[in-house]
Amino acid sequence: MENDDLVDTLELLVKLWDVHAINEFKSKNLSFAIRGIDKYPNSIAKASEEELLQIPGVGKSVVKIIQDFAQNGSSIELEQMIEQTPPGLFQLLKIKGLGPKKVRAIWQELGITELDDLLLACQENRLETLKGFGKAVQENVLTYILFLKQNNKKLRIDKATYLAEILMLELVQHFEKVEISGDLRRNSEVIDELVFVVQADDLFGAQIVINSMSHWNENVQESSPFTWRGFIEGHIIPISVHIADKNQFVNLCFQLSAHPDHLAKVNYYSLFQNKSISSEEEIYTSQSLPYIIPSMREGRFEFEWSEKYTNQDLIQWSDLKGCVHNHSTYSDGKNTLLEMAEACRNLGLSYFGIADHSQYAAYAGGLKPDRIVLQQEEIDQLNQKWSDFRILKGIEADILPDGSLDYDSDILASFDYVVASVHAGLNMDLEKAMSRLIKAIENPYTTILGHPTGRLLLTRPGYPLNTSKILDACAANKVAIELNASPYRLDIDWRYIYEAMEKGVYVSINPDAHQIEGLKDMEWGIKLAQKGGLVKQFTFNALTADELLHYKR
């Protein structure tokens, strides 16, 4: 059992104890222990009892639970709790802003255990009457449920890619030629259908083949002679497989993956539909248009963009010189500063920027001033190790509710650069969000605006922003904007990247890595950056360390 899985399971156990109001002391104690377990550098499952007892908060009773999990993959305590919990409550527990105690109140006082009933209760203003809830909580829950319902069957790009690649492997066993098409080929951040094109001359035969594949379940009503539609067992996202003969294959891949607005711009319907084409380039060259790569076929700014840049200008991994928003065990990361830096160096980059959380983010082990001194001393020491690589001293400073940054000037001045981010108080209206962020951008120590909207894809919409004005402020104050490369965020939205470049604002592709594996998230960042048209000359971390550090000062 991996440590992460154990932490998730223990967290669930704490939540269920709280939902059932079982021994508050016991659950507080386990919560505290989980923090220690989360930071434990080695395999918990392999740790001895003595080693486990060294972890802060871990006593004999917790050791017993851990050993249960390690040996049996579960624990009696957890199974009993799950048994006693109405299944619908697990969904309610996922709602942001509803802790286990509130879920308990909803269950015990309103008798609600299902999401749909909770939605109704919000619409009928019954939730706000509960003690400790009020209008604001009800409003949040309502927004969240509606958001959830809307995004019910969608997948983030990383999950969709992973699933599509598995399904591709199955399809290529049966068909000569298979392509991923649809929004995924366009690298959309969120995917609502997985679309494939397969080559086959015999339409009917192709449908039979697909239906013979295990786990592929057809939706007969939605299917047609040319298209198999259905789903894969265990997955909610709809699947479609379009069957094309040899002459129509390229055409169909193009048509199903480009946005309708792009199709209109290339006169697709009048010139190419149902015609045989041998390559996608043909569509562009025949009309003397520049070739647009699949991910940019959105019908937004791609042709305007291509008057200024060529596809060779688009940012690539090999252009990146470093990465500047990462965490270590100093705050809430899983790997040490040295481990993270070495991993970054192994990726071929020449600098690693640490940006651990600042003190306001106490829940994430934000750094108190004495820890900053310690970290910066360690960096000075480590930097003597390499001649071709260095660690930069950064911080992810919280943007406080009033828009100021988390430390005073003399501490802020000790960093090489500052990523300024909002982590708390995300419920803001437009006016509040704008004044808070603009003030942070105007702070002379701010180098990069971190995850600008605070969104979590398919989970949390993020606060409202007038992004154009944010970009103006970034330009005026020489602040770079982050493209947070975590597939959970991908924030700033790619739709604003071209506008950022037009305004002269640099975009920083930041993995926000909390462990070594997280550094690779920059690949998602690059995909979305390219989609937004980001070129090397406007990529902040394509600058050398010296250029980056002198950009503002």
* Residue numbers at the binding site for Zn ion (CB under 5 A): 396, 421, 512
Specify the residue, 298 or 512, whose C-beta has the smaller distance to Zn ion: 512
Specify the residue, 198 or 449, whose C-beta has the smaller distance to Zn ion: 449
β-partners of residue 130 are none
Neighbours of 204 (CB within 10 A): 10
Specify the residue, 158 or 396, whose C-beta has the smaller distance to Zn ion: 396
Specify the residue, 421 or 530, whose C-beta has the smaller distance to Zn ion: 421
- Contact (Cβ atoms closer than 8 angstroms) between residue 361 and residue 398: yes
Q: How far is the CB of 214 from Zn ion (least distance, A)?
A: 42
Q: How far is the CB of 325 from Zn ion (least distance, A)?
A: 6
Specify the residue, 7 or 424, whose C-beta has the smaller distance to Zn ion: 424
Q: How far is the CB of 433 from Zn ion (least distance, A)?
A: 16
Specify the residue, 26 or 371, whose C-beta has the smaller distance to Zn ion: 371
d(Cα 546, Cα 297) in Å, to the nearest integer? 36
Q: How far is the CB of 324 from Zn ion (least distance, A)?
A: 11
Q: How far is the CB of 223 from Zn ion (least distance, A)?
A: 44
d(Cα 526, Cα 518) in Å, to the nearest integer? 14
Q: Which amino acid is it at 454?
A: G
Backbone angles phi, psi at 199, to 5 degrees: -95, 125
Which has the closest alpha carbon to 100: 25, 8, 10, 12? Answer: 12
Q: Where are the alpha helices (DSSP H) in 42-197?
A: 49-54, 60-72, 76-84, 88-92, 100-110, 115-123, 134-150, 157-171, 182-185
- Contact (Cβ atoms closer than 8 angstroms) between residue 121 and residue 110: yes
Specify the residue, 92 or 364, whose C-beta has the smaller distance to Zn ion: 364
Backbone angles phi, psi at 216, to 5 degrees: -95, 110
d(Cα 269, Cα 543) in Å, to the nearest integer? 43
End-to-end CA distance of the chain: 48
Specify the residue, 189 or 512, whose C-beta has the smaller distance to Zn ion: 512
Specify the residue, 186 or 451, whose C-beta has the smaller distance to Zn ion: 451
Specify the residue, 191 or 420, whose C-beta has the smaller distance to Zn ion: 420
Q: How far is the CB of 503 from Zn ion (least distance, A)?
A: 24
β-partners of residue 295 are none
Distances (CA, A) of 355 to 288, 376, 447: 47, 11, 12
Q: How far is the CB of 498 from Zn ion (least distance, A)?
A: 25
d(Cα 49, Cα 64) in Å, to the nearest integer? 9
Instruction: Supply 243's token pair.
Output: 């069957």
Q: How far is the CB of 62 from Zn ion (least distance, A)?
A: 29
Q: How far is the CB of 314 from Zn ion (least distance, A)?
A: 26
Specify the residue, 189 or 396, whose C-beta has the smaller distance to Zn ion: 396
Greatest Cα-to-Cα distance within the chain, rounded to the nearest angstrom: 74
Q: How far is the CB of 450 from Zn ion (least distance, A)?
A: 5
The burial class, CB within 10 Å (0-12 / 13-18 / 19+), for 354 is buried
d(Cα 141, Cα 454) in Å, to the nearest integer? 18
Specify the residue, 327 or 345, whose C-beta has the smaller distance to Zn ion: 327
Instruction: Supply 44's token pair.
Output: 């918990």
Q: Where are the alpha helices (DSSP H) in 189-327?
A: 203-212, 249-257, 260-265, 268-271, 280-285, 302-308
DSSP annotation string for 79-95: HHHHHHS-THHHHHTTS
| 152 DSSP 8-state letter | T
Q: CA gyration radius for the chain?
A: 26
β-partners of residue 448 are 419, 480
Specify the residue, 327 or 390, whose C-beta has the smaller distance to Zn ion: 327
Backbone angles phi, psi at 400, to 5 degrees: -70, 165
Q: How far is the CB of 395 from Zn ion (least distance, A)?
A: 10
Q: How far is the CB of 332 from Zn ion (least distance, A)?
A: 8
Q: How far is the CB of 372 from Zn ion (least distance, A)?
A: 16
Residue 241, classed as helix, strand or coil, is strand
